[in-house]
Structure 1
Amino acid sequence: MISLAQFMVVILLALSAVGCVFIDGELVDHDSWKSEQRDNREAISRLQIGMSRADVLEQLGTPDDSEAFTRDGEEVRVLFFRTQRRHSDGDTTRDETTPLVFRDDTLVGWGEDVYRDQR
């Protein structure tokens, strides 16, 4: 039979693990997506048209998705950053992101309208 001290340790460990999820051995914080989205929205609101892609990446970090194509002889790159949650499936889909559009590595705008105009 286990002692009271052992029982208390088991209870404390169980309570500390409530709400914790491990994926591929890494702790996943359920609220981390909220702060990521808030941080991304704040950083995007401080962007300026004409910034270089390198400067934007320095502020925002790695995008959740990206694509590249040419239009009118210029390279167009689109970086997608998660800014709003729509599905609770754990995956980030494009409808949960804000697209940032670059022509020849210069920021020309962000948002769905700018993205559609460049496509």
Structure 2
Amino acid sequence: MRKIIIATLISVSLGLSGCVISVGGDSEHGYKSGWKDKENHNRKLIAKLTPELSYDEVMGRFGLADFNEFYKIDTDTYQVLYYRTQRIEGDGLTTKDECTPLVFKNGILHGWGDKAFRLINH
């Protein structure tokens, strides 16, 4: 009986030796795997923003935006990065109305939020 138990344990351990299970690993930007974590992370970063940060500084903190737009008005350039901060529809897709826009004028953070975006689109 003892030989059967040992043989069973050896065969089971050999069969499982190649299995790897990953549960709840963090992404590169500090949130686990859900939209709630991503939204919370982005809201915390936005709360720490200050005007006059460079585009590169913000990109370094936030990473890839959910949406990215570029405008040229007269001699000024505007770039708008959208980061998901709230859930509107439970459809699994991120839309602009679920994001907060960060507005850059000539490569410098000029403002954030809907009002800042509307000011460049008046």
Taking the TM superposition and a 5 Å limit, the aligned residue runs for 1:1-40 are: 32-40=34-42
2:54 is matched with 52
| Deviation of the 1:109 alpha carbon | 0.4
1:25 is matched with none
1:45 alignment partner AA: A
1:71 alignment partner AA: I
1:69 alignment partner AA: Y
1:63 is matched with 65
| Deviation of the 1:72 alpha carbon | 2.8
* Structure 1 gap ranges (5+): 1-30
Distance in 1 (CA, whole Å) between partners of 2:62 and 2:75 is 28
2:91 is matched with 89
Distance in 2 (CA, whole Å) between partners of 1:85 and 1:72 is 35
**Superposition TM-score, scaled by structure 2 size:** 0.71
1:101 alignment partner AA: V
Specify which of 76, 79, 84 is matched with residue 77 of structure 1: 79
Deviations 1:86-110 (A, max 9, x none): 0011110010000000011100000
1:102 is matched with 104
Deviations 1:12-42 (A, max 9, x none): xxxxxxxxxxxxxxxxxxx611000000000
Distance in 1 (CA, whole Å) between partners of 2:115 and 2:97 is 13
Distance in 2 (CA, whole Å) between partners of 1:44 and 1:82 is 11
Distance in 2 (CA, whole Å) between partners of 1:85 and 1:70 is 30
For the aligned residue pairs, the C-alpha RMSD in angstroms reads 1.3
2:77 alignment partner AA: E
Three-state SS of the structure 2 residue aligned to 1:99 is strand
Q: Percent identity?
A: 38
Three-state SS of the structure 2 residue aligned to 1:68 is strand
